[in-house]
Amino acid sequence: MISRFSSMFSIFLLSSAICSAQAVHAEQVKLLASIKPIQLIAEDMLGDLAEVDVLLPPGSSPHHFSLKPSSIGLIHDADLFIWGGPGLELFLTKTVSQLERPALALLEGGDAHHHDEEHAADNEPSHTDEALGAEADDQHDHGDSDPHFWMAPDRALAAADLIKDRLVERYPTDAALYEQAYNDFAARLSVTDQQLQQQLKVVGNTGFYVFHDAFGSFVEHYQLHQLGYFTVDPGRKPGARRLSEIRTALENDQARCVFVEPQFKAPVVDSLIRGLDIRVGRLDPLAVAIEAGPGGYSNYLQSLADSFTNCLSAE
């Protein structure tokens, strides 16, 4: 009798858990990420706990984008809008400052700083910078403030922690679910990171150039040998001095590979490597070809690692 009661009680608990989970799924939080990499992190972590859409169309660069009225409507409709911050997406600053539900900025300590237009413009290259060409690039290095945080698993995990904390704050009754989702994501990401550490170790001493200075966090985390980049801003052509320096390095066999990006045509790269035995690889800073969902962010890191190893280890 006791055994039968125990079995029935266990079934009741299981049924209650299933109903509870279904209730959560039926009332998914509606999140909107500004760019695909943020969507990958949020959806990989949250799974069925949230519906995560993305604002920018595939392949659109956050460096050069103009909001349409329909896009502004999507931002206002979301339960939570998640963006990089004004250092990455200056065009969103005004819209974010007008939201009834505060957005979450994953840079700047997780707070959405409401810059006025004049102050925000300080983060953009000036007309003088554009005229300086390569010299302007030298002065515009991201340094320690590289906004491409999704390029390194430790920084992506910090971003996921901010997302989790905001959801716990806003939906405290589901706090345990969000905490568990974060812990599971962290565990999966740790496994991926260890695998990539081993994979990339064999090409760590091989030199290369990238088209756009977006991969510094990945390069630093996995201790790769990046010799330089063509431009900080993919919308600006590299200056003559920088091109001359890169050509000299390529002629001296300091690099095996030059990486381009699918979002930008780079005829300057083709011209620069003409006549040299230099391989050309592809790195996508915006993860256009990666499907959002379980394992999506880890799949993106794997795709970057594969691009590096395929180009740098080829004979």
Work out the angle at residue 21's Cα, subtended by the Cα atoms of residues 20 and 23, and round it to the nearest 5 degrees.
65
- Give all domains of the chain, ordered by start, each with its CATH number: 202-312 (3.40.50.1980)
Task: For 122-134, write each residue's pLDDT tens digit.
Answer: 333 332 222 223 3
Task: For 41-77, write each residue's pLDDT tens digit.
Answer: 999 999 999 999 999 988 677 766 778 888 999 999 9
CA–CA gap between residue 15 and residue 315 (Å, rounded): 58
- Residues of the chain under the 70 pLDDT cut: 1-26, 59, 63-64, 109-144, 314-315
Q: Are 53 and 73 in contact (CB under 8 A)?
A: no
Count the Cβ atoms, other than its own, within 10 Å of residue 119.
12
Within 8 A by CB and 6+ apart from 132, the residues are 139, 239
CA–CA gap between residue 211 and residue 224 (Å, rounded): 16
Record the pTM. 0.80
Give SS3 for 58.
coil
**C-alpha 63: how far from chain center:** 13
- CA-based nearest residue to 63, from 196, 292, 202, 234: 234
Task: For 87-139, write each residue's pLDDT tens digit.
Answer: 889 899 999 999 999 999 999 754 433 333 333 333 333 322 222 233 334 33
How large is the angle between the packed helices 36-46 and 175-201, nearest 10 degrees? 120
What's phi and psi for 86, nearest 5 deg?
-65, -25
Instruction: State which amino acid sits at residue 43.
Output: E
